[in-house]
Amino acid sequence: MIARKREIFLLLDNIRSVHNVGSIFRTAETAGISHIYCLDTTPVPIDRFGRKRSDFAKVALGAENMIPWEHIPEAGTLLKSLKKDGFEIVALEQNERSVDYKMVELKCSKVLVILGNEVEGVSKDLLKSADVVAEIPMQGDKESLNVSVAAGIFLYRLFDR
């Protein structure tokens, strides 16, 4: 196993698709992510009755049991706490503040990466809290990637550095 250089957490901002979230869990585990926060309507590995979700497990392939996660109803308190603990907040989003993800120079060994909703992206309030907004440039006619694909690209960029 490779020694971790950074402690990386994820915040999934109201992602709608259980398949996208399951895929992000699987990718996050392989990239050594330390913790995942599922904000508000983001699907989680268990249903409201505390039972494991088979649709989630089918995509995550056990990663939901290997990486710590929690559901949070709002992110304000979490962001304040993580910033106080020395975390750098990075949002992956197309925005007037965004920089090419390959140019991001992280200043901290603790990082929270925010991934946004499939349609609306990262919420404006969360973008305001971000220290860095990173963007994956598009070469074709489509304006964006699937959130789970974008997560994989960006997380492995962090893993490689």
| Residues 47-59: tens digit of each pLDDT | 999 999 999 999 9
Q: Mean pLDDT throughout 15-38?
A: 97
Q: Average pLDDT over the chain, rounded to whole?
A: 95
Asked whether the whole model's pTM tops 0.85, one would answer yes
DSSP at 55: H
SS (H, E, C) 3-35: CCCCEEEEEEECCCCHHHHHHHHHHHHHCCCCE
User: Is residue 8 scored above 70 in pLDDT?
Assistant: yes
What domains, with CATH codes, occur in the chain? 7-160 (3.40.1280.10)
Q: Residue 2: is its pLDDT beyond 60?
A: no
Q: With a cut of 70, say whether residue 4 has pLDDT above it.
A: no
Cβ-based neighbours of 118, under 8 Å, separated by 6 or more = 15, 16, 17, 20, 146, 147
Mean pLDDT of 22-30: 97
3, pLDDT greater than 90? no
Return the percentage of the chain with pLDDT > 90, whole number. Answer: 93
What pLDDT, in 10s, does the model give residues 75-96? 999 999 999 999 999 999 999 9
pLDDT value at position 158?
85
| Other residues' Cβ atoms within 10 Å of the Cβ of residue 44 | 18
Give the pLDDT of residue 145. 96
Res. 154: pLDDT tops 80: yes
In this prediction, residue 161 carries a pLDDT of 63
Burial of residue 19 (number of CB atoms within 10 Å: 0-12, 13-18, 19+): middle
Question: Is a pLDDT exceeding 90 seen at residue 109?
Answer: yes
Q: Is residue 137 within 8 Å of 78, Cβ to Cβ?
A: no
